[in-house]
Amino acid sequence: MSDTTDAAGDSSRLEDFHQEVAKLRASGGRANPDRWVFRIGLILTIAGLAFTVASYILTGQPYDTEGGNLHQSNHLDLIVSAIFGLSLTLVGLVMITISSFRRFMRYWLVRLVYEYREQTDRVVGG
């Protein structure tokens, strides 16, 4: 078996394989997608909280006045940004919960599969 390439190269199976592989669409793949969901969720949660706290702190700042009139639009802007921050936090927490739940369910499934296999082996062995 010093050089089996020639024999293999002529085979129609190998030709089929070349064609099949050419048709495959590589998505690039991503190892452990849950980890990315968790990370993005964590970033969103922290960013959202920061946004909300910053908005809260800014409401304590003196209002801009122009000609002695108080501009309430600033206050409304801060309320909107605080709600936006809370929304980000909520989305982030949902992502963290989903990824954690998925991971937990996966381990549970693996455990079930393992136990089922053990049980089958015992039954067949008996």
Partner 1 sequence: MSTESATPLLELVGIRAGYGTIDVLHGVDLRVMPGQVYALLGPNGAGKTTTLGVASGQIQPHAGSVLLDGHEVNGVSPDSLARAGVCLIPEGRGIFPNLTVAENLRMCTYAGVSYKQVQERSFAQFPRLQERRNQMAGTLSGGEQQMLAMSRAMATDPALLMLDELSMGLAPIIVEELYEQVATLAEAGLSILIVEQFAQAVLGVANEAAIMLHGRIQRTGPPEEIAEELTAAYLGMS
| Whether 87 contacts 43, CB under 8 Å | no
**Residue 72 in the binding site for partner 1 (CB under 8 A):** no
Q: What is the DSSP letter of 31?
A: S
C-beta separation of 97 from 38 below 8 A = no
Asked if residue 30 lies in contact with residue 36, where contact means CB atoms within 8 angstroms, the answer is yes
Window 101 to 120, contacts with partner 1 (CB under 8 A)? 120
Amino acid at 49: L
Judged by CB under 8 A, the stretch of 1-9, 39-47, 61-69, 78-86 that binds partner 1 is: 1-9
If one asks whether residue 3 binds partner 1 (CB under 8 A), the answer comes out as yes
Query: Which 18-47 residues touch partner 1, going by CB under 8 A?
Result: 18, 20-32, 35
Residue 103's Cβ-count burial label (10 Å; 0-12, 13-18, 19+) is middle
Asked whether position 68 contacts partner 1 by CB under 8 A, the answer is: no
Closest to partner 1 by CB, 11 vs 59, is: 11
Name the phi and psi angles at 3, rounded to 5.
Answer: -140, 95
* Cβ-based nearer residue to partner 1, 4 or 72: 4
**For binding to partner 1 (CB under 8 A), which residues are involved?**
1-9, 11, 13-14, 16-18, 20-32, 35, 120-121, 123-125
